[in-house]
Structures are given as C-alpha cells and as structure tokens.
C-alpha cells in the first residue's frame, strides 16, 4: 500500500527528529552555562577539572543563574513526553510530572527542610548517594526563580511537543 | 521477527529518565548560582561546625582574640629578647624566655645541664649542635622545665624542643632572620592564679632583616591551649606580628588566619584578619577587622573601633546581611577583670579624684624607673660592675655623676657582669645625675641581665624601695614597696628605654599626701637620645588615699606622652586615662596640650558624658609643693 504524505505525517516526522534534537541542544546549552559562567570548583561534574577553568566570560549575563533550570526542565519534560509516547495525555503528564520533580528538588533546599537532611552521614566526608542528596539539600539555596524557570521549561516542552505533534 | 518497540521499554525509560534527571539536578546544584550553592561534596569535615549567633558571638570573638593573643605570648616567651640577648656572652638559663637566644650562646657541641631557676624549680637543657662556632640548620635545644620560677612573673613546667630551621644574617647584630621548629609537650605556665597549658608544634620565625622593624610569625598545623577550664585547639594557623621599634611608642601590625576549636563553645570556626590589626605600645589595638566564620556561612566580624571599643557584626544565617550589632570593649573580649573602684564619682569629688590619680600614676612611673637607670655605666650599679667586683661586697661609697652619692653593697656572682640572684643595695644621699635627684633606699634582686655592644642592656628583677625620693621634671615623689621591673635600654639611632614595672601594692608620696596603688602596672618608653626627653606611658591599677572615699581604678585608653622639660606645670600633651568608680561611674582625663586637660565625667555609668570640666596639669600636680626635693638636691 502506498501511503500518501499528509501535513500530520510531516509534522510527526519532524517531531521524531526535532524533539530529541531540541532536548540534546537544551542539555548542551545548560552545560554551556555551567562551563562558561559558573565556578567549576563548586560544581560537582566540573570540580575535577576546576584548576583548568579560564576566567569567566559572563556570557549569559543576568539570565545565567536561571537558564540551567529552564533548559534542564525543558529537556527532561520532553524526554518524559517522548518516553510516554502514545500514552493518553502524554504531553500533559510529562510536563507536569517533571515540574513536580524539579520543584520538589528545589524545595528541599529551603532552610525549612534542612533539619531533615542534617545527619552524621553528611559530616562524615564519605561520598554516598545519601550524603550527596544531603549536601545538595543543605548546601544549596532555595530560589523561587529556579522554580519559575523550571515551570517555563516544562510549559515550553509541552508547547513544542504539541506543535510538533508527538505521536499518540 | 522481533522488532524494537519503544513502548515495551517506556516504563524503564521513564524511571531512567527520572533518575538521570534527579542525578543531573544534584550534580549541577539545582541551577542557582548563589554563592553558597557549592555542590561539591566538600570535605564537610573541613567546614566550620559552630553556628555563630547573637547569643554566642561575643564568646566566639573572645575565644579567637584570646587564642591569637596567647599564641603571640608563646612566641614572645620563646623568642623575645632575641635581639637583646643574641650577642651576649653569658649563658642565661632563664626559663623559656631566652630559649632561642640561649641557642646562640652555645659553647659545647653536645651539652646537657640541669640548672636551678632563680626562685625555685629546675630546667634541664640538652643542646645538640653540629658546629659550636657556626649556628647550623638542624641544631637542636631541648629544655625540660620543672616548676621553674625565674622571677619573670610565671612558673613553667613541661618540655620545649627547638630545632633551628633557618638562619640568615648575623645574630650578633640586629639584622638577621631566624626560624625554629618548636614542639611543646605538656607545657604549663602559671601566672598568679592562672595556668595556661600548651601542646603542639609550630614554626617560629623572627625576622629583623628590616631592623628596627621586627616580624614574628607563628605557623603551625596544630597547637592546643588549656586556660580557664576551656581547651582551645588552633589548626592550620598563620599568625604574624610586626613591631616597628623605630617609632615611639612602637607600632604593631598583626595578621592572623586559622581555625579554632573550642571545647566550651562546642565546635570550630575559621578566623582571618580582613584588615590588619594595628596597635601602639602596650595599648590594645586601635584599628583592624577580624572575620570569624562558622557553620552554614554564619559569621561575626570583629570591627575595632578604637583602643577601647569593639563592634561585633553578626550574620547568623550566612546571608551576608548583618543581623545584629554588639558594642563591646577590649576588656570584655580579653576577659579582663575590670579595673573599677569602690568609690563613687560625684560632682564634688571629681577634682580630688583626678588629682590623686594623676599623682599616683606619675609617682609610680617616676620612682620605679629609677632602678633600671642605675645599671648604666654612670649609674651606681653600673660603676660597681666596672670595678669587676664579685662575691659579697661593700658597703662602698659611690659618687653620683653630678653630685652626691650612694652607699652601695650586695653580692655579685660573676665579676664584671650581673646575673640571676645577684643582690644590689643602694642608699642614696643627695644623689643627682643630670636632671634627676635620688634619696633613700633601693634594693634590687636581679633576675636576669644581658648587655650588648653600645651599652645596650636589659635587666629584670625585683626591687624593694623604702621611701625612695625621686626628683625629676620639677616633681617630687617618694615610693615605698616592692615591684617587679624590666628595663630594656636599647641603643639604636637614638637611645630608647622600654620599662615595665608592676606591683601588687605600692605607696607613693607627693605633696604631703600619700596614695596607695594596688595591681599597679606601668610601661614607659623613654626617648633619651634627644632633648627634651620624651616619655610615652601607659598605666593601670587602683588607687586609694586619705583624701579619697573608696578606691578608684585607672587604665590608659591611649598612652600619655609628655616631655621631661623641668616644668612641673606641664604634663602629657596627648593621652587619655580612664578612671572608674562604683556603679561604672567614670572620669576620662583627656590631655589637650602640655598644660590643659579635659575631664569627661559619667556619673551614672550609662556611657554618656554628663559633665565636662577643663583644668590644668599644674592644678592637679603637686610638683614640689613642700620644697622637700628642692632642699635636698
């Protein structure tokens, strides 16, 4: 059977390429913010090469602080949407689910939750998954701007997925 | 044929995505770029653990200030007087003070000796040197103290182990750099009722390559002190103190970095001087900032306002916003017992209090400086030394350089020198030297004596005076009592005397009235190489007299600076003395010029000036009102 191309089919084809591509691009841009704007010594994945950090260019200006949250939320919302594939309400579930995760992770950095994460493990100096979460929660600072950036990232993922018609 | 179907794996993919998403969030710190968002699992054991708050900010500040002070005292004890003693020719086993100088007087490549200390106890010293004629890096001196009391104001036990780590220049001159690696084990220094213990190691460097500027630095990984029931440990510390003796009073610059762990406070804090601390003479620092950082970025900044006042700026939550300001004082941070009196300051007795305190301070400084001056070549003890006497001697009549004389007797252990336990007695009769007149008895028990070329010398000892009359600068004072003194006669470009005296109780007479001083201290730096002689004096203590109802404390807020110009109507042209009475009432005696001063009076102790009064030094001073000194000299 010869299948005739339709606009919907073209959108679906573009979506299959463009959506994963945009997640990769978003993740790369997020990494770029850390590499170009942040102190490597205080960033876990860059710390081993912190001594090689050149002078910061401040390339992303005032958006630098929030762009990683935006790109990260966008990328993981979209990946979730793609993983949910043809599930009903995949776009809505993917975007909302990641926003809940992102907002939760930001919230645990609030002073209010610090007592929950302070334990002898956090002071032992030994690296464990638990200690990493503790350090993340206690050393980090809750920032409403991050929550907002995550929200916009999730909304952007929802909109892009809708426009490019994620296959249902 | 099996085909890849994403749907089959969507559940796993979702879980994986969530896990990766969470992990990447943690790895990057959650996006924020705030300064405290360090996501490195930093060696959290390296972070300070004590949370600083308004409640403990003053105690934390006090602990840091005291620890830094103790460390400099320790460096001072082991290395002080290096310059004065380095070129001496006698071995003086005077407790830890002079341990480093002692090294440079070695005569045997390997020697061991147990010496008795002047006032009880022993010190067992073992010297290991490679070449007795050339100080060599690696040379070692180990001193084991057993309740050693050398009349230096403290008793010491424990072991000090010094190894020469660096040497530049010539220690026989004023220009050199010397560095010792020092290991202290079970050191206990008892001064009065207080005992400070010390264990640990550090490198002490004394750098006088830019003499008369001398820098002392203490660098170490761990040093533990015990004092006042607390055990304080300093780690990774670097403390530097530079003293510029080329100006009077000497200018001090201090910087300190390190970590402090206090048992009493229950945690660790990091400290660093963000602005170098500056002080003059023996007065508390007048400028500088120390930043102390605790857990979670909490901090207290010690901002030095002046030599009396300090402001603590406390940021309890680490948001770089000051949550509370605490105004305090050096006396509080140093945990000094306040020098206050029992008498109440009222509008009626202010002139009498000011007069009595002024005469007590002036008199104590005047009569206690006389003893050290007798060790110059023209002084009566200096003349005895030049006669190379030894053993019991005298009494001999010794002429004073201008007129009169003294009957001098005593016991000297080594001819041509003075040393610990020598006893020197002088009964002055109309003795005048230049513009100084002396009459009465003075008995000196020598604790230590060292001299270098150019007639520079340092003498320490205990002096007993019985109604010793001293006439100088138009003022006539007599002193009765016993005091400890240190008289450092340093010759550099101009002559400088640095004198410290202290007495638990001492009586001063002047103008037909007598004052009794308790816990009195005086430091005088005297520029003798120019005319008129300039004196910079700091004092503290309490005073009582028949004219006073109760006692009154006094302490120099800034040094009195005055000229020996022979005019009794003149006094300090700068300086400030705080006189304290009951209920925190106080009088600040502020010198305006050589003839005038202002009295700032706080009757109710609320730290505000209730009344100001102007007066003159001529009004306060007794001078030689009875003409007794004029008749004698």
Express each pLDDT in B387-424 by its tens digit: 888 899 989 999 998 999 999 999 999 888 898 889 99
Q: What is the mean pLDDT of residues B442-454?
A: 84
Sign of the CA dihedral with B556 first, then B559, B564, and B565 last: negative
Q: Does B33 touch chain A (CB under 8 A)?
A: yes
pLDDT tens-place string over residues B138-189: 888 888 888 888 766 678 888 888 888 888 887 777 788 888 898 888 988 8
Mutate to test the interface with B, among A36, A43, A131 (most CBs of B within 10 A): A43
Residue B41 phi/psi, 5-degree rounding, is -70, 70
- pLDDT for position B154: 75
Q: How far apart are CA B243 and CA B241, in angstroms?
A: 7
Chain B touched by A16 (CB under 8 Å): no
Closest C-alpha among B197, B97, B104 to residue B151:
B97
Please answer whether residues B365 and B509 qualify as being in contact, where contact means their C-beta atoms are separated by less than 8 angstroms.
no
The pLDDT tens digits of the residues spanning B479-513 come to: 999 999 989 887 655 678 889 999 999 999 987 78
CA distance A158 to chain B (A): 17
d(CA B497, CA B564): 14
B81 and B97 in contact (C-beta within 8 Å)?
yes
Q: How does residue B85 score in pLDDT terms, banded at 50, 70 and 90?
A: very low
Among the listed residues B386, B366, B387, B368, the one whose alpha carbon sits nearest the alpha carbon of residue B376: B386
Instruction: Write out chain A residues lying below 8 Å of B46, CB-based.
Output: 125
What residues of chain B lie within 8 A of the CB of A41, using their CB?
38, 40
Query: Is the pLDDT score of A4 beyond 50?
Result: no
Task: With CB atoms and an 8 Å threshold, state whether A105 touches B27.
Answer: no
Confidence of residue A6 (pLDDT cuts 50, 70, 90): very low
Give the rounded percent of residues in chain B with a pLDDT score beyond 70.
87
Alpha-carbon distance A149 to A64, whole Å? 11
Question: Is A60 in CB contact (< 8 Å) with chain B?
Answer: no
Write out chain B residues lying below 8 Å of A87, CB-based. 10
Q: What tokens were used for A35? A: 């590499």
DSSP letters for B535-563: EEEEEEEEEEETTSSS-EEEEEEEEEEEE
Q: Which of B7, B34, B37 sits opposite A86 (nearest CB)?
A: B7
> Which tens digits make up the pLDDT trace of A52-81?
777 665 677 778 788 889 999 999 998 888
* CB–CB contact B10 A66 (8 Å): no
Greatest Cα pair distance in chain A? 67
B42 near A CB under 8 A: yes
Chain A residue with CA closest to B319: the answer is: A141
CA distance linking residue A19 with residue B133, whole number of Å: 84
Return the DSSP state at A46: T
Residues of chain A neighbouring B40 (CB-CB closer than 8 A): 41-44, 47, 135
Contact A72 B21 (CB under 8 A): yes
A125–B44 CB contact, under 8 Å: yes
| pLDDT single digits (tens) B586-596 | 999 999 999 99
A72 at interface of B, judged by CB pairs closer than 8 A: yes
* CB-based contact B500:B523 (threshold 8 Å): yes
CA–CA separation, B588 and B53 (whole Å): 33
* Predicted model pTM: 0.56
Average the pLDDT over B547-567 and give the result.
Answer: 89
Confidence category of residue B360, pLDDT binned at 50, 70, 90: very high
pLDDT of residue B378: 85
Give the pair of three-digit tokens for residue B597. Answer: 């001063």
B601 has a pLDDT exceeding 90: yes
Mean pLDDT computed over B297-316:
89
| Nearest residue to B376 via CA among B400, B392, B351 | B400
Cβ atoms of A117 and A138 within 8 Å: the answer is: yes
| The pLDDT value given to residue A118 | 54
395-454 of B, contacting A, C-beta below 8 A: none
Average pLDDT over residues B614-620: 92
CB of B264 within 8 Å of any CB in chain A?
no
Task: State residue A30's pLDDT score.
Answer: 87
Q: How confident is the model at residue B39 (pLDDT cuts 50, 70, 90)?
A: very low
- Residue B101, burial from CB neighbour count under 10 angstroms (0-12, 13-18, 19+): buried
Question: Does the distance separating the beta carbons of B45 and A72 come in below 8 Å?
Answer: no
- Please give, rounded to a whole number of angstroms, the shortest distance from the CA of A165 to a CA of chain B: 17
Phi, psi of B102 (to 5 degrees): -55, -35
B387 contact A CB<8A: no
Q: Check if the beta carbon of residue B312 is closer than 8 Å to that of residue B301.
A: yes
B320 interface with A at CB cutoff 8 Å: no
CB contact under 8 A, B14 and A80: yes
What is the C-alpha to C-alpha distance for residues B400 and B430, in angstroms, rounded to an integer?
A: 9
The answer to whether residue B25 neighbours chain A at the CB level (below 8 Å) is yes
Distance between CA atoms of residues A97 and B17, nearest Å? 12
Q: In Å, how far from its chain's centre is CA A68?
A: 7
The interface pTM score, or ipTM, of the predicted complex is: 0.79
Angstroms from A7 CA to nearest CA on chain B: 24
The answer to whether A141 faces chain B, any CB pair under 8 Å, is: yes
Q: Give the count of alpha carbons within 13 A of B132, CB side only.
A: 8
Cβ of A98 under 8 Å from any chain B Cβ?
A: yes
Identify the closest residue of chain B to A109 by CA–CA distance. B30
Mark yes or no for CB contact A80/B26 under 8 Å: no
Residue B259 has pLDDT above 50, yes or no: yes
What is the C-alpha end-to-end distance of chain A, expressed in Å?
A: 22
A101 in reach of chain B (CB within 8 A): yes
Report d(CA B270, CA B320) in Å as an integer.
16
A77 in contact with chain B, both atoms CB, cutoff 8 A: no
B38 at interface of A, judged by CB pairs closer than 8 A:
yes
Give dist(CA B316, CA A59) in Å, integer. Answer: 34
- Give CA torsion, residues B564, B460, B245, B566, to 10 deg: 0
Report the residue of A103, A135, A138, A151 to disrupt the B interface, i.e. the one with the largest count of B CBs within 10 Å: A135
pLDDT value, residue B144: 87
Contacts of A143 in chain B (CB under 8 A): 30-32, 34
What average pLDDT is seen over chain B?
Answer: 83
Residue B4 has pLDDT above 50, yes or no: no
CA distance A25 to chain B (A): 16
pLDDT score, position B606: 81
The per-residue pLDDT for range A111-155, each reduced to its tens digit, is 777 667 654 444 444 456 676 777 677 667 788 888 999 999 999
| Strand, coil or helix: A63 | helix
Q: Residue by residue, what is the 3-state secondary structure of chain A?
A: CCCCCCHHHHHHHHHHHHHHHHHHHHHHHHHHHHHHHCCHHHCCCCHHHHHHCCCCCCCCHHHCCCHHHHHHHHHHHHHHHHHHCCCCCHHHHHHHHHHHHHHHHHHCCCHHHHHHHCCHHHHCCCCCHHHHHHHHHHHCCCCHHHHHHHHHHHHHHHHHHHHCCCCC
pLDDT number for residue B495: 78
Q: First and final CA of chain B: distance in angstroms? A: 128
> Does residue B508 contact residue B501 with C-beta atoms inside 8 Å?
no
Q: Summarize the confidence of residues B523-547 as an average pLDDT.
A: 88
pLDDT for res A41: 63
- Pick B622 or B582 by higher pLDDT: B582
Q: Residue B520: its pLDDT value, please?
A: 93
A85 min Cα distance to partner chain B (Å) = 7
Among candidates B31, B34, B43 on the partner chain, residue whose Cβ is nearest the Cβ of A69: B31
Bridge partner list, B123: B115, B145
Residue B95 confidence (pLDDT): 33
Contact check, Cβ <8 Å, B25/A125:
no
Q: What is the DSSP string of A14-31?
A: HHHHHHHHHHHHHHHHHH
Structural contact between residues B524 and B513, judged by C-beta atoms closer than 8 angstroms? no
Check: CB of residue B110 under 8 Å from CB of residue B128: yes
Task: Extract the tokens encoding B230.
Answer: 């607390």
In the structure encoding, which two tokens stand for residue A163, read together?
């426009």
Question: Does the beta carbon of B493 lie under 8 angstroms from any beta carbon of chain A?
Answer: no
Q: Best of A53, A73, A86, A139 to disrupt the B interface by mutation (most B CBs within 10 Å)?
A: A139
Tokens representing B390 are 């030894």
Measured between alpha carbons, how far is residue A137 from residues A119, A122, B415, B570 in Å? Answer: 12, 10, 76, 69
The encoded tokens of residue B249 equal 């009073």
- Percentages helix, strand, coil for chain B (3-state, rounded to 5) are 20, 50, 30
pLDDT per residue as tens digits for the range A82-100 = 888 777 788 898 899 999 9
Asked whether residue B42 carries a pLDDT value surpassing 50, the answer given is no
Domain boundaries, chain A: 7-163
pLDDT score, position B369: 94
Nearest to B126 by CA among B156, B159, B167, B151: B159
A13-62 residue pLDDT tens: 666 778 888 889 998 988 888 888 777 766 667 766 766 777 665 677 77
| C-alpha to C-alpha distances, A16 to A76, A79, B427, B539, nearest whole angstrom | 16, 12, 112, 88
pLDDT given at position B121: 84
Strands (E), B495-610: 495-510, 513-527, 533-545, 552-564, 574-580, 586-591, 596-602
**Residue where the block lists tokens 């005397």:** B497
Which chain B residue lies closest to A142 (C-alpha atoms)?
B32
Q: Do B32 and A140 touch (CB under 8 A)?
A: yes
Q: Does A166 have pLDDT greater than 70?
A: no
Q: Which residue has the tokens 């994963």?
A: A20
Winning range, highest mean pLDDT, from A116-130, B199-213, B357-371, B516-530: B357-371
pLDDT confidence of residue B110: 47
The CA distance from B508 to B483, in Å, is 12
Residue B34 reports pLDDT greater than 60:
no
- B16: part of which helix (H) or strand (E)? helix B6-28
B8 vs B48: which has the higher pLDDT: B48
Does B6 lie at the interface with A, CB-CB under 8 angstroms?
yes
Write out the two tokens for A104. 């939760």
> In sequence order, what are the residues at sequence separation of 6 or more whose Cβ sits closer than 8 angstroms to the Cβ of residue B269?
B48, B50, B52, B60, B64, B259, B260, B292, B293, B294
**Do residues B274 and B255 make contact, with C-beta atoms less than 8 angstroms apart?**
no
Question: Of the candidates B21, B22, B39, which has its C-beta nearest A43's C-beta?
Answer: B39
The pLDDT tens digits of the residues spanning B87-130 come to 332 223 333 344 555 555 444 444 566 677 777 888 888 878 77
Task: Please tell me the predicted confidence (pLDDT) of residue B515.
Answer: 93
| Contact check, Cβ <8 Å, A44/B32 | no
CA distance B18 to chain A (A): 8
Q: Which of A36, A136, A137 to mutate to test the interface with B (most CBs of B within 10 A)?
A: A136
Grade residue B367 by pLDDT with cuts at 50, 70 and 90.
very high
Mean pLDDT of chain A: 76
- Look at residue B73 and tell me whether its pLDDT is greater than 80: no
């Amino acid at each position: 059977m010869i299948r005739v191309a339709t606009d919907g089919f073209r959108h679906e084809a573009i979506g299959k390429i463009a959506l994963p591509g945009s997640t990769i691009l978003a993740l790369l841009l997020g990494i770029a913010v850390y590499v170009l704007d942040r102190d490597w010594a205080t960033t876990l994945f860059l710390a081993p090469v912190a001594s090689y950090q050149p002078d910061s260019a401040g390339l992303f200006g005032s958006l630098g602080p929030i762009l990683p949250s935006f790109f990260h939320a966008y990328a993981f919302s979209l990946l979730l949407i793609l993983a949910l594939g043809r599930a009903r309400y995949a776009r809505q579930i993917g975007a909302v689910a990641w926003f809940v995760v992102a907002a939760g992770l930001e919230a645990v950095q609030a002073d209010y939750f610090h007592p929950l994460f302070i334990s002898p493990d956090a002071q032992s100096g030994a690296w464990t998954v638990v200690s990493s979460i503790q350090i993340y929660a206690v050393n980090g600072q809750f920032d409403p701007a991050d929550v907002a950036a995550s929200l916009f990232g999730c909304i952007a993922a929802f909109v892009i997925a809708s426009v490019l018609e994620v296959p249902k | 044929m099996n085909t890849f179907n994403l749907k089959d794996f969507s559940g796993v993919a979702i879980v994986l995505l969530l896990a990766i998403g969470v992990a990447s969030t943690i790895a990057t710190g959650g996006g924020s770029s705030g300064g405290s968002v360090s996501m490195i699992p930093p060696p959290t054991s390296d972070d300070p653990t004590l949370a600083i708050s308004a409640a403990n900010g003053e105690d934390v500040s006090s602990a840091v200030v005291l620890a830094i002070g103790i460390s400099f005292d320790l460096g001072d004890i082991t290395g002080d007087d290096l310059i004065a003693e380095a070129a001496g020719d006698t071995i003086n086993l005077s407790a830890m003070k002079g341990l480093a100088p002692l090294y440079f007087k070695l005569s045997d490549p390997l020697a061991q000796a147990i010496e008795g200390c002047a006032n009880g106890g022993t010190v067992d010293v073992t010297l290991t040197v490679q070449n007795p004629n050339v100080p060599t890096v690696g040379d070692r001196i180990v001193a084991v103290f057993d309740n050693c009391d050398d009349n230096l104001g403290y008793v010491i036990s424990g072991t000090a182990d010094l190894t020469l780590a660096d040497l530049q220049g010539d220690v026989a001159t004023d220009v050199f750099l010397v560095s010792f690696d020092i290991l202290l084990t079970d050191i206990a220094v008892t001064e009065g009722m207080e005992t400070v213990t010390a264990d640990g190691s550090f490198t002490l460097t004394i750098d006088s390559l830019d003499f008369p500027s001398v820098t002392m630095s203490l660098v170490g990984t761990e040093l533990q002190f015990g004092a006042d029931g607390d055990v304080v440990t300093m780690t990774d510390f670097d403390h530097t103190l530079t003293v510029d003796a080329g100006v009077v009073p000497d200018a001090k610059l201090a910087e300190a970095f390190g970590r402090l762990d206090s048992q009493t406070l229950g945690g660790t804090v990091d400290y660093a001087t963000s602005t170098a601390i500056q002080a003059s003479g023996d007065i508390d620092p007048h400028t500088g900032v120390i930043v102390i950082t605790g857990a979670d970025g909490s901090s207290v900044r010690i901002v030095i306002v002046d030599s009396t006042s300090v402001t603590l700026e406390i940021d309890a939550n680490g948001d770089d916003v000051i949550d509370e300001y605490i105004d305090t004082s050096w006396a509080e941070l140093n945990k000094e017992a306040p020098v206050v009196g029992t008498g109440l300051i009222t509008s009626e007795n202010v002139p009498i209090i000011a007069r009595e305190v002024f005469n007590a301070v002036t008199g104590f400084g005047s009569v206690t400086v006389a003893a050290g001056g007798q060790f110059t070549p023209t002084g009566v003890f200096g003349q005895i030394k030049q006669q190379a006497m030894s053993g019991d001697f005298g009494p001999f009549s010794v002429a004073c350089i201008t007129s009169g004389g003294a009957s001098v007797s005593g016991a000297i252990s080594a001819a041509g020198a003075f040393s610990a336990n020598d006893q020197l007695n002088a009964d002055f009769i109309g003795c005048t030297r230049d513009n100084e007149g002396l009459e009465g008895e003075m008995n000196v028990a020598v604790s230590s004596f060292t001299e270098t070329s150019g007639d520079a010398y340092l003498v320490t000892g205990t002096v007993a005076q019985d109604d010793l009359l001293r006439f100088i600068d138009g003022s006539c004072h007599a002193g009765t009592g016993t005091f400890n003194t240190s008289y450092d006669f340093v010759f550099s470009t101009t002559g400088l005397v640095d004198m410290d005296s202290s007495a638990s109780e001492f009586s001063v007479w002047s103008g037909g009235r007598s004052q009794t001083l308790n816990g009195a201290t005086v430091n005088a730096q005297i520029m003798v190489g120019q005319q008129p002689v300039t004196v910079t004096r700091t004092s503290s203590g309490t005073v009582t007299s028949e004219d006073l109802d109760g006692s009154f404390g006094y302490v120099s807020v800034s040094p009195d600076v005055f000229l020996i110009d022979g005019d009794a109507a003149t006094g300090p042209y700068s300086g400030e003395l705080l006189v304290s009475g009951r209920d925190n009432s106080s009088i600040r005696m502020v010198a305006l010029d050589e003839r005038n001063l202002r009295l700032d009076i706080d009757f109710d102790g609320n730290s505000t000036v209730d009344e100001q009064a102007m007066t003159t030094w001529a009004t306060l001073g007794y001078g030689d009102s009875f003409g007794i000194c004029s008749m004698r000299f």
